[in-house]
Amino acid sequence: MYKIMMFSGGVYKFNELQEIVEDIGGFILQSMVMQTETMMHLAFPAEEEPRIKAKVKELGGKLKDLPLGGAEIMVVVPSLGKHHAVYPMCDIAEFLRRNGAITDMMGLARGVGKRIAQMTVEEKAIINECDAAVFVFGDFKECIEEKVKLCEMIDVPYIIVGGPSASDVDLPHYVGGVGRRTSRMNRKEDIEKLNEMAMALADVLEEKRIELEEDPLSASPLFIKEMIEMILPPKVAEELPIVIHMDGLRVKVEAEDEEKIRDIEIGKRKLSEICEIKKSLYEGYLLEILPEAVAGEIF
Amino acid sequence: MEIKVEGGGEFANASYTNVCNNVFRDVGLRSNIDWVYMYCNAAEHVFIISIKIGRAPSPVKVWDITLREGNKLRITKEEYAPKLLALLWDRYSGRVQQESRVIIRFELEEEEVAKLNELVVYDPKEDLTARMLDGIDRILPEGARVRYPIPSAQGKGITIIASENPISAEWKVKAKELVGRIASSGGGA
């Protein structure tokens, strides 16, 4: 299993760290050099952590654990009106990104109210494309308990963020103390609350990770990402052309490149043989990697 | 401005007090509202908000926002600059020119300058109702789209009942009772 961490430090000899990660069979998920500062998201085998830590110490950098790394999370709010956006929706999304997640945001078309709240089939399908969802609701216990029907419709793991404290609301994966906001969540107690939310989401994702370990995929999404980049190198200034999911990838390519992707060789197999490739309702193509038990070995 | 929120539970009451405070600050009405009362009944999805307008803000005149420097005016409150320039150009056309971002040069007689100083650039009463309703709309839950307004007898405020369901006569009576009780006790908190 890969461990995902963030390195931040100076540019001095940081390429040596890159080489070590590649030598031990790891991957560089994101790399950003800002004048004299460097930030890298690294994925490497968990047992090699001491080696990476030693190198980072030598370089004088910092290493931070990313509990949500390698997951795409959908932040869902009842609408994109000023009642829900930009606070607390953007604070939540920002905090998830700080913990390594790739975030998308969605305002439901008819998600407001209590009795009248609903979710369309298309919205449900788009949320199901992500690894997990965070539903951001308001201040009233009665409304949250009624709106759980929206969350129960989706197939991916989710958490609910609302106002009343968790002891008052009897719902699984619920984090209270956020509710309606009209200003940024940048106070100490707000940060603690966001941290609690990120940890609740990490727990939910951990359950999914354990499921995947029990029925392993035929190839790691990180490995497939690297193979795709060898055939279709990222274009200049293109942001996150390949988003890693826990059990697949989202690849933002044009329709004419679809065939090229299907024919990419992963070991002895073609990508189309070990993945279900379908057009994403949101953006690009969705690659769902089949379990090894279904697709067979690739080497 | 005094704010009282009832009926929504401990967290919701505190949260909506905060929301009321921030929203009325954003729409520029905090110093003009005497009290705000809000009643939340999430179980029946009925929300009542009542506002009493206190001292109406006085009109902003040219001398409030400018300093005279010979035949020039220096704008001291830049947020009024577009309204001031529109007013002066409308009245004096080419005899008034904007030299820089905050300097206006004029070619006017002394008597005209005295009159100019008294011109009203912006009267907050003009859009008071619009701003008040905008504030209420931002505070009330988005799903509560069925609204029933109850104007105050003295014309110094408004009460709005909001819900996602049709508003019953019972709630209309109850809203009047609640607001009457708050008004007779002299305000919010």
Sheet arrangement for strand A102-107: A102-107, A72-77, A132-136, A158-161, A174-175
Q: What are A160-179's pLDDT values in tens digits?
A: 999 999 999 989 899 999 99
**Could you tell me which chain A residue has the CA closest to the CA of B14?**
A139
Tell me, what's the pLDDT at B186? 65
Contact (CB<8Å) B11/A182? no
- Asked if A250 contacts A283 with a C-beta cutoff of 8 angstroms, the reply is yes
Would residue B108 count as lying in a domain?
yes
- Do B79 and B40 belong together in one domain? no
Tell me, what's the pLDDT at B189? 45
- Do B143 and B178 belong together in one domain? yes
Tell me, what's the pLDDT at B164? 94
- Do B114 and B141 belong together in one domain? no
Exposure pattern of A169-202 as b/e (b: 16+ CB <10 Å)? bebebbbbbbbbbbeebeeeebeebbebbbebbb
- Do B9 and B100 belong together in one domain? no
- Do B118 and B154 belong together in one domain? no
Smallest CA–CA separation between B133 and chain A, in Å? 15
How do the pLDDT tens digits run along chain B, 189 residues long? Answer: 899 999 988 999 999 999 999 999 999 888 889 999 999 999 999 999 999 988 877 899 999 999 999 899 999 999 999 999 999 999 998 899 999 999 999 998 888 888 998 999 998 888 888 999 999 999 999 999 999 999 887 777 899 999 999 999 999 999 988 888 887 776 644
CATH code: domain of residue B154: 3.30.980
pTM to 2 decimal places: 0.88
Return the bridge partners of B95, or none.
none
- Structural domain ending residue among the three candidates B122, B138, B168: B122
CATH of region A72-212, choose from 3.40.50.2000, 3.90.480.10, 3.30.70.100, 3.40.50.2300: 3.40.50.2300
Return the bridge partners of A44, or none.
A3
Tell me which residue in A82, A117, A176 faces B138 most closely, judged by beta carbons.
A82
- Domain total of chain B: 2
Tell me, what's the pLDDT at A296? 83
Exposure pattern of B151-173 as b/e (b: 16+ CB <10 Å)? eeeeeebbbbbbbbeebeeebee
Tell me which residue in B16, B26, B164 faces A115 most closely, judged by beta carbons.
B164
ipTM for the complex? 0.86
Q: B14: domain range?
A: 2-56+126-184
- Structural domain ending residue among the three candidates B122, B147, B175: B122
Half-sphere exposure of residue A31, counting CA atoms within 13 Å on the CB side? 11
Smallest CA–CA separation between A113 and chain B, in Å? 4
Per-domain residue ranges of chain A: 2-65, 72-212, 221-295
Q: What is the mean pLDDT of residues A255-264?
A: 88
**What share of chain A has pLDDT > 90, as a percent?**
74
Please check the confidence at residue A263 and state whether its pLDDT lies above 50: yes
d(CA A75, CA A69): 16
Tell me, what's the pLDDT at A299? 77
- Do B162 and B136 belong together in one domain? yes
CATH code: domain A2-65 is: 3.30.70.600
- Asked if A141 contacts B9 with a C-beta cutoff of 8 angstroms, the reply is yes
Would residue B106 count as lying in a domain?
yes
- Asked if B140 contacts B125 with a C-beta cutoff of 8 angstroms, the reply is no
d(CA B96, CA B85): 9
**What is the average pLDDT score of chain A?**
91
Test mutation, B11, B139, B165, chain A, max A CBs within 10 A: B11
- Do B12 and B65 belong together in one domain? no
Q: What are A22-64's pLDDT values in tens digits?
A: 999 999 988 888 888 999 999 999 999 999 999 999 999 999 9
- Do B39 and B130 belong together in one domain? yes
- Do B50 and B130 belong together in one domain? yes
Tell me, what's the pLDDT at B135? 94
- Asked if A176 contacts A184 with a C-beta cutoff of 8 angstroms, the reply is no
CA dihedral B125, B136, B1, A137 (to 10 degrees): -150
> pLDDT tier at A288 (50, 70, 90 boundaries)?
very high
- Do B65 and B112 belong together in one domain? yes
Nearest of A180, A118, A171, A177 to residue A144 by alpha carbon: A171
- Structural domain ending residue among the three candidates B94, B122, B150: B122
- Asked if A295 contacts A273 with a C-beta cutoff of 8 angstroms, the reply is yes
